[in-house]
């Protein structure tokens, strides 16, 4: 039983490592010139249109993160629930222990996903 669990864990870790490796940007040293002088760069004044564009992009990013988080939390809850229903008495006690960190994580995720749009709205009203 431990070997199956170990194999599943190794598979998950391997898949996550491959995903992280694929989406990590590769830095090619020497590909950029080193003659840039930071003292020469003068930023322009940002207008309200630039601010609105940034807010619009932030709202879209937060919405995508929220939808993905909701989907992942529901899938994980379904998996834990199915394992709980099909498990023995000892396994049910273990799943109750895993539910507490899951519920704390879901609470933190939903709290943050609600606080960020609130902050963006307050900043937009302030401007």
Over the stretch 34-93, which tens digit does the pLDDT of each residue have?
A: 566 667 666 666 666 667 777 778 778 888 888 888 888 888 888 888 888 888 888 887
Over the stretch 3-41, which tens digit does the pLDDT of each residue have?
A: 677 677 777 777 777 776 666 665 555 555 556 666 766
Q: State the DSSP H helix or E strand holding residue 8, giving kind and residue range, or none if neither.
A: helix 2-23
Supply the pLDDT for residue 110.
83
Sign of CA dihedral 51, 56, 61, 62: positive
- The structure tokens listed for 99 are 């539910």
- The structure tokens listed for 85 are 């229903």
Question: Which region, left, alpha or beta, applies to residue 47 given φ > 0 means left and ψ of -120 to 50 means alpha?
Answer: beta
Whether the pTM exceeds 0.85: the reply is no
- The structure tokens listed for 48 are 């309200």
Over the stretch 88-118, which tens digit does the pLDDT of each residue have?
A: 888 887 877 778 888 888 888 888 878 877 8
Supply the pLDDT for residue 42.
64
Q: CA of 4: how far to CAs of 1, 10, 86, in Å?
A: 5, 10, 17
Q: Flag whether pLDDT at 123 surpasses 80.
A: no
């Amino acid at each position: 039983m431990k070997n199956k669990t170990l194999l599943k864990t190794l598979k998950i870790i391997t898949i996550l490592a491959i995903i992280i490796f694929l989406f990590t940007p590769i830095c090619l040293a020497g590909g950029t010139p080193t003659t840039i002088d930071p003292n020469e760069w003068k930023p322009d004044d940002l207008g309200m249109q630039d601010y609105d564009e940034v807010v619009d992009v932030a709202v879209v990013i937060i919405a995508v993160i929220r939808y993905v988080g909701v989907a992942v939390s529901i899938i994980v809850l379904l998996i834990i629930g199915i394992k709980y229903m099909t498990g023995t008495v000892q396994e049910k006690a273990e799943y109750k222990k895993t539910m507490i960190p899951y519920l704390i994580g879901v609470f933190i995720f939903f709290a943050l996903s609600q606080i960020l749009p609130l902050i963006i709205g307050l900043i937009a009203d302030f401007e």
